[in-house]
Amino acid sequence: MTDLQTTDEFIAQASQMLGQRGFTTDTDTMQPWLTDWRGRYSGSALALASPANTDQVSDLVKLCAKHNIAIVPQGGNSGMSGGATPDMTGTSIILSLRRMNAIRQFDADTRSITCDAGVILQHLHEAAEAERLRFPLTLGGKGSATIGGLISTNAGGTQVLRHGTMRAQVMGLEAVLPDGQIFNSLTPLKKDNRGFDLKQLLIGSEGTLGIVTGATLRLLPEIAGRCVLWAGLDSLIDARKLLLACEKMVGERLEGFEVMPAHSLAAVLDHLPAARSPLQSAHNWNALIELVGTEDTIASLPDLAENFLSIALEKGIISDATIAANEAQAEQFWLLRDSISPAERAIGPAMQHDISVPVERMAEFVTETVPEVESRFPGTTAIAFGHLGDGNVHYHVLAPAGAIRGMWEENEGKEISSFVHDLVTQWGGSISAEHGIGQMKVMELGRLGDPASLSILRSVKEALDPQGLFNPGKLVPGTA
């Protein structure tokens, strides 16, 4: 049988198995899902499969294994590293989980929710809020990102400082393995020591080891209110001091701690004409701090926030500070933070790096490497901002004035990224803090990854997916 014959046979069988709603080879229908949302990666696919349930996913995977068809799993298609975009060969199928979007079970006693992989993050938030609970992970793409995608990429966001990444939210998991078997740990056991924890292997594996079809997630009591603070600082070293003082003084009420340099704030204020700076004068660095209270602690929160800021001012850690007077102003403060990326994109081309270093070395890392990058690539501006408390910094290098968008990135830009990744590796950091490896960083991981880690990664991949059909070319170097 030729390849063409087996492909035709596969299409015929898959069509029959999944029906019209569940399987299409129509190019117009597939089009939006062949390019990632930022338009950086494009590919081609044999078909788009949209199974209705876990059994259908399992059957489809078995059929693919039989016909040696590669599978690219896809959730909301809002990934940052091209992990859900197929390659150009057109020989793989996209397996969309979007049709599987039911909330299966809600348990107020154990504060947990079990849902399909295709549930959109925002819908999960709403479902939790309706029960006066909350799901403690959020990020910019919440309107499209799906639970399955968030698990497969171990997504982060702005609440990791206190609540951890997606890994910390997953109590149980359901996934289809490369041989079509269904792995099910959805009934959460708080204690289970039957060997190493298999669900941990699937979290963050970007669809290379299994396709997440459902999950049981933890929920937390709703918050009763928040205090959002803005502080001006001289240096990032001071920001680190402020964070430590804050952790000591407000403990578990600290929910977010973000930093941004003067350059970023100025860019945002230019970009958003209606926005105003929270403080009168400009400072080298700005910290955005969110404190939250539950029903029993909310009353004391404003006093605690004021006290904390007075002590920090007194000790000279900060130069100036303010507290959002109301919820509208709190939203304004966060809008400034969330607008950094678009504001800097408006200025000109930039290379963006999602990196982390050990928390205690982050201030030092930024202080030392920013001038290093700028002197090695004259005319560039290096900007670091983001989650100081997690050691996760978004490290952008802005092109020199006059650089041509599209061309600069492919040339000097690539060189800059390699340089930044080298620096991060030297500082004991990670070239992917929260966006994952996907296809974007798979070569860099191969180049810079620790040999022992890479060999485990490759061995486990080969053991679980010997045919190499699950998301080929992503995450695991040298398996394209």
Q: How far is the CB of 136 from a second copy (least distance, A)?
A: 14
Whichever of 221 and 371 has its CB closer to a second copy, that residue is 221
Whichever of 42 and 200 has its CB closer to a second copy, that residue is 200
x/- letters, 54..93, toward a second copy (CB under 8 A): ----------------------------------------
In 3D space, the residue among 180, 170, 179 whose CA is nearest the CA of residue 201 turns out to be 170
3-state SS class at 470: strand
Q: How far is the CB of 274 from a second copy (least distance, A)?
A: 33
352 near a second copy (CB under 8 A): no
In 3D space, the residue among 478, 389, 13, 471 whose CA is nearest the CA of residue 202 turns out to be 471
Residue of 114, 392, 439, 479 interacting with a second copy (CB under 8 A) = 392
3-state SS class at 143: coil
Residue of 23, 135, 183, 470 interacting with a second copy (CB under 8 A) = 183
Q: How far is the CB of 356 from a second copy (least distance, A)?
A: 5
Q: Interaction with a second copy in 137-156: which residues (CB under 8 A)?
A: 153-154, 156
CA dihedral 339, 344, 350, 352 (to 10 degrees): -20
CA dihedral 139, 142, 145, 146 (to 10 degrees): 110
Compute φ and ψ for 332, nearest 5 degrees: -60, -45
Give the number of residues in contact with a second copy, rule: CB under 8 A: 78
Could you tell me if 384 and 423 are in contact, meaning their C-beta atoms sit under 8 angstroms apart? Answer: no
369: Cα separation from own chain's centroid: 24
Residue of 72, 160, 292, 312 interacting with a second copy (CB under 8 A) = 160
Whichever of 5 and 191 has its CB closer to a second copy, that residue is 191
List, in order, residues 6 or more apart from 408 with CB less than 8 Å away. 349, 399
Residue of 22, 391, 413, 473 interacting with a second copy (CB under 8 A) = 391
Q: How far is the CB of 422 from a second copy (least distance, A)?
A: 15
Rg (CA), the chain: 23
In the chain, what's the furthest Cα-to-Cα distance? 80
Residue of 26, 296, 314, 410 interacting with a second copy (CB under 8 A) = 296
Integer angstrom CA distances of residue 97 from 84, 213, 223: 12, 7, 31
**Interface stretch with a second copy, choices 128-136, 181-189, 265-273, 364-372 (CB under 8 A):** 181-189
395 near a second copy (CB under 8 A): no
Q: Interaction with a second copy in 105-124: which residues (CB under 8 A)?
A: 107, 109-110
Residues for the chain: how many in total?
480
x/- letters, 220..259, toward a second copy (CB under 8 A): -x----------------------x------xx-------
3-state SS class at 173: strand
476 near a second copy (CB under 8 A): yes
The rounded distance, in Å, linking the Cα atoms of 306 and 95 is 51
182 near a second copy (CB under 8 A): yes
Residue of 201, 223, 237, 443 interacting with a second copy (CB under 8 A) = 201
Residue of 60, 202, 305, 323 interacting with a second copy (CB under 8 A) = 202
Beta bridge partners of 74: 96
Element (H, E) at 408: helix 407-408
Question: What does the DSSP 8-state code read for residue 146?
Answer: B
Residue of 74, 165, 213, 417 interacting with a second copy (CB under 8 A) = 165
Q: Interaction with a second copy in 428-457: which residues (CB under 8 A)?
A: 428-437, 445, 449-453, 455-457
Q: How far is the CB of 309 from a second copy (least distance, A)?
A: 17
Q: Interaction with a second copy in 9-48: which residues (CB under 8 A)?
A: none
3-state SS class at 69: coil
Q: Interaction with a second copy in 456-475: which residues (CB under 8 A)?
A: 456-457, 459-460, 462-464, 475
In 3D space, the residue among 177, 148, 152, 202 whose CA is nearest the CA of residue 57 turns out to be 177
196: Cα separation from own chain's centroid: 25
Whichever of 89 and 455 has its CB closer to a second copy, that residue is 455
